[in-house]
């Protein structure tokens, strides 16, 4: 299943003094199985964009197609779309409301028409996928830590077995360990189940480490769209719109300017380590 956006535009408060063009002629295709990072400064349009992907917000103009069908066509089943394109909001407490964790995760599957028993099977599998043990089943979701709440919210969407999972700043407010645990679980889901992931993030290091494609939004438009190496080559342009490349990008460019033959397009710590070690090994060999 793929999502395709054609000339999508969205305007807040049209024909008023408060009119804001949040999306401007956005054209994108999200194919099956990709892990995509969506980045942009505050107000760039990224959150508005992801709310269009499962029909929560309707475009002012343009078309969105899911599996070849126009989601704005008369009679289109938006409920079915939202079960296939799952959205986890930035603040998990906005999605948690049941008395206990298991009931909360069961809510979506039950709405899909599953029996209580079938919903619980789905819920327990979703809990396993996000690293929540059985001991959490009867706990109140509101008594959990921020990271645990985030896992419950993600499990609630996964229990509906979506084909596309959209996560809006899933690590906001978490400590480094909690952030790594959540992102590692999401990465594992992508690898094991082949689920399409759209990760909205402001962390360039996280995006560089996990995704295979980056979409950069700026003032409601797509500024760049490509592999991390391609996008971060434009690090000076990213700076000009309030963003930055991963720290290793700056380190490698500095080394390159000083005459070291490093690969300045490396985007992760591991890639930077490898290219720096290669350069120094080559220098040692030359002196032997």
What residue segments make up the domains of the chain, in order of their start? 3-228, 246-288
Give the model's pLDDT for residue 214: 96
Name the phi and psi angles at 216, rounded to 5: -105, 125
Q: Do 171 and 201 contact (CB within 8 A), yes or no?
A: yes
Tokens coding 184: 């590692």
Give the model's pLDDT for residue 258: 87
Instruction: Spell out the SS3 assignment of 158-192.
Output: HCCCCCEEEEECCCCCCCHHHHHHHHHHHHHHHHH
Tokens coding 189: 């889901």
Rg (alpha carbons) of the chain, rounded to whole number = 21
Tokens coding 52: 């269009």
Tell how strand 221-226 and strand 196-200 pair up.
Answer: unpaired
- Residue 187, CB-side half-sphere exposure with 13 Å CA sphere: 14
Tokens coding 125: 């599998």
Place of tokens 């060999």: 285
Give the model's pLDDT for residue 30: 95
Tokens coding 5: 């956006």
Mean pLDDT by 10 residues, the chain (288 residues): 91 90 96 94 91 94 95 93 88 82 94 92 92 92 89 91 91 81 88 92 86 95 94 91 88 89 88 89 75
Residues in the chain: 288
Q: Do 56 and 85 contact (CB within 8 A), yes or no?
A: no
Pick the CATH number of 3-228 from 3.40.50.300, 3.40.50.2300, 2.20.25.90, 3.40.50.720: 3.40.50.300
Cα gap 159→74, rounded to integer Å: 28
Give the model's pLDDT for residue 282: 80
Give the model's pLDDT for residue 185: 86
């Amino acid at each position: 299943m793929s999502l395709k956006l054609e000339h999508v535009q969205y305007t807040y408060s049209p024909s008023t003094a408060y009119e804001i063009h949040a999306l401007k002629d956005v054209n994108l295709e999200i194919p099956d199985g990709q892990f995509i990072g969506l980045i942009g400064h505050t107000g760039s349009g990224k959150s508005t964009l992801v709310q269009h992907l499962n029909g929560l917000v309707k475009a002012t103009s343009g078309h969105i197609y899911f599996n070849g069908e126009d989601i704005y066509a008369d009679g289109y089943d938006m409920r079915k779309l939202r079960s296939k394109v799952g959205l986890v909001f930035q603040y998990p407490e906005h999605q948690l409301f049941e008395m206990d964790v298991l009931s909360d995760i069961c809510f979506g599957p039950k709405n899909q028409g599953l029996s209580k028993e079938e919903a619980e099977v789905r819920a327990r599998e979703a809990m396993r996928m996000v690293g929540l043990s059985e001991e959490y089943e009867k706990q109140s979701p509101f008594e959990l830590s921020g990271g645990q709440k985030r896992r419950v919210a993600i499990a609630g969407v996964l229990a509906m077995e979506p084909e596309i999972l959209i996560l809006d700043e899933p690590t906001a407010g978490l400590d480094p360990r909690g952030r790594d645990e959540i992102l590692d679980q999401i990465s594992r889901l992508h690898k094991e189940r082949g689920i399409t992931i759209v990760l909205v993030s402001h962390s360039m290091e996280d995006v560089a480490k996990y995704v295979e494609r980056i979409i950069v939004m700026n003032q409601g438009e797509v500024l760049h769209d490509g592999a991390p190496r391609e996008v971060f080559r434009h690090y000076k342009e990213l700076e000009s719109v309030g963003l930055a490349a991963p720290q290793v990008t700056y380190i490698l460019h500095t080394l390159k300017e000083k005459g070291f033959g490093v690969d300045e397009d490396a985007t992760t710590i591991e890639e930077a380590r490898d290219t720096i070690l290669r350069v120094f090994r080559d220098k040692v060999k030359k002196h032997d």
